[in-house]
Amino acid sequence: MAQIDDLPPLRDVIRTHGLTPKKSLGQNFLHDLNLTARIARAAEPLENITVVEIGPGPGGLTRALLALGARRIVAVERDERAIAALQEIAARYPGRLDIVSGDALTVDLMAHLGPERARVVANLPYNIGTALLIQWLTVEPWPPWYDSLLLMFQREVAERIVARVGDKAYGRLAVLAGWRTDAKILFDVAPAAFVPPPSVTSSVVRLVPRPVPLPCDPVALQRITEAGFGQRRKMLRQSLKSLGVDTLALLEAAGIAPTARAEEIPVEGFVMLAREFIALRKSTAR
């Protein structure tokens, strides 16, 4: 493949800016611009899109997204050492790369986004990937501020996101993702593509928001799934006790057998439980 831009190779960028990978920041850098271009292509079409990239690091994926025509990128990076490297990319693509130096878990993204469509594309730091995904899946209002999420996770996490009831990986993440999005694994990326290589394979996942998911309060759904899957081998009549409501009444109202286990309940069942949980709490508060 032809070179994607006239900036230096990533290896040189990493060396010049002293970006020795830090484990504490989940830093496994992609060095191959052909691979970052493959990931960016999975996010196309990019024209008229503002991409939110979390953890651009030395900017391999950032460069691919810009070369493929992303209108603007808002890139949130916690490692101050990477900011100078990113500024060189910003200078090459004037007005198209906004660098936000900070923690993606707490930064106010809305302050950086305009009215145009936004899309999240990221090779996430493994240590906060799940927390970020949960934030994006439980955001209000819905439909959300992004039109899709294209994210790289460890394969095992990707499987937990796309799992269906009956799958071994079915759990809390699958319920949240399945409730509000269509989630799909697109392709795998071998450990050797990263520096340093992680111990496991990674996967690129695309999540597309459902315009009208079943009505349900995300906080209640999180509480139910946490309780249910927190003790996944136990029957729900036992595992849901921590919710502090009449568990048998809750299960009956949701039409679910008290002897069922969380892993047997499809997304719709959890939505019913979350709705009835709120109704039950309201009625007992009166």
Question: Exactly one of 28, 148, 154, 239 binds ligand SAM (CB under 6 A); which one?
Answer: 28
Question: Nearest approach, Cβ of 29 to ligand SAM (angstroms)?
Answer: 4
Q: Is 60 a residue that touches ligand SAM (CB under 6 A)?
A: yes
Nearer to ligand SAM, 77 or 276 (CB): 77
**Which of positions 242-281 make contact with ligand SAM (CB under 6 A)?**
none
Nearer to ligand SAM, 63 or 160 (CB): 63
Question: Nearest approach, Cβ of 78 to ligand SAM (angstroms)?
Answer: 4
Report which DSSP code applies to 231.
T
d(CA 214, CA 267) in angstroms, rounded, equals 10
Read off the tokens for 221: 């759904």
Nearest CA to 269 out of 182, 170, 184, 183 is that of: 170
User: Which residues, in sequence order, are CB contacts of 245 under 8 Å at separation 6+?
Assistant: 277, 280, 281, 284
Rounded CA Rg of the chain: 21
Q: Is 78 a residue that touches ligand SAM (CB under 6 A)?
A: yes
Give the count of alpha carbons within 13 A of 249, CB side only: 12
Q: How many CB atoms lie within 10 A of CB 56?
A: 26
Nearest CA to 227 out of 216, 215, 240 is that of: 240
Q: Which region, judged by CB under 6 A, interacts with ligand SAM, from 121-129, 214-222, 230-238, 254-262?
A: 121-129
Phi then psi dihedrals of residue 53, to 5 deg: -115, 125
Nearer to ligand SAM, 83 or 279 (CB): 83
Nearer to ligand SAM, 92 or 237 (CB): 92
Nearer to ligand SAM, 78 or 275 (CB): 78
Q: Is 128 a residue that touches ligand SAM (CB under 6 A)?
A: yes
* Per-residue binder mask for ligand SAM (CB under 6 A), 36-55, x = binder: ------------------xx
Q: Is 29 a residue that touches ligand SAM (CB under 6 A)?
A: yes
How many of the chain's residues bind ligand SAM (CB under 6 A)?
23
**Which of positions 80-119 make contact with ligand SAM (CB under 6 A)?**
82, 103-105
Q: Which amino acid makes up residue 215?
A: P
DSSP-derived secondary structure for 114-161: -SS-EEEEEE--TTTHHHHHHHHHT-SSSS-SEEEEEEEEEHHHHHHH
Q: Is 61 a residue that touches ligand SAM (CB under 6 A)?
A: yes
Nearer to ligand SAM, 60 or 144 (CB): 60
Residues lying near ligand SAM in the complex (CB under 6 A)? 25-30, 54-57, 60-61, 76-79, 82, 103-105, 123, 125, 128
